Amino acid sequence: MTIRAPKPEDAAAVAALYNHYVLHSTASFETEPLDAEQMRSRLESATARLVCERERAIVGFGYTHDWKERAAYRHTQEVTVYVAPDSTGLGIGRRLVERLVAECRTTECHALVACITADNDPSRRLFESIGFRRVSHFEQVGRKFGRWLDVVDYELLL
């Protein structure tokens, strides 16, 4: 298993991994799949970005991006991490988040935020185990697959 910076040619594989969650899960609140170019653009605009490769396949990715657009928020980043469904439970998510946290510590980032669907227990446990603490619970702020969804926010001060 190798964690590395993504290459432009990884965008299609990263999009395919992510699109599984877009189409079949409430982990992402997006409802339309992304194409390779859209994912390439997201990765290129990210502050920190990583992919996890196993046996020449992308099995996870993560990145941080501006949490909000206003200048006063410029020291806060949001963390996004996804692991291929057949590769969960192998510590990939943990390794990605820990590496992203480490990278953010070398920048002017002061706070990291993770926005998680409230019923996504594996994600919540992951971020809690790394030291993120729950700071909010928004009720019924998203709707997907005919269900209202809650969101919990986690924060880690660097």
Q: What is the pLDDT of residues 60-116, one digit of tens each?
A: 999 999 999 999 999 999 999 999 999 999 999 999 999 999 999 999 999 999 999
Q: What is the pLDDT of residues 25-72, one digit of tens each?
A: 999 999 999 999 999 999 999 999 999 999 999 999 999 999 999 999
Q: In whole angstroms, how large is the CA radius of gyration of the chain?
A: 15
Supply the pTM of this predicted model. 0.95
CATH code for the domain in which residue 36 is found? 3.40.630.30
Residue 78 contacts residue 13 (beta carbons within 8 Å): no
Number of independent structural domains in the chain: 1
C-alpha span between 105 and 10 (Å, rounded): 25
Q: Determine the straight-line distance between the first and last CA of the chain, rounded to whole angstroms.
A: 27
Torsion sign across C-alpha atoms 33, 92, 103, 50: negative
Q: How high is the pLDDT of residue 104? A: 97
C-alpha span between 19 and 55 (Å, rounded): 21
Q: How high is the pLDDT of residue 72? A: 97
Percent helix, percent strand, percent coil in the chain, to nearest 5: 35, 35, 25
What range defines the domain where residue 135 resides?
2-157
C-alpha span between 126 and 136 (Å, rounded): 17
Q: How high is the pLDDT of residue 158? A: 97
Q: Residue 114, CB half-sphere, CA atoms under 13 Å: how many?
A: 30
Q: Give strand ranges (E) for the chain.
A: 2-4, 48-54, 57-66, 76-83, 111-117, 133-144, 147-157
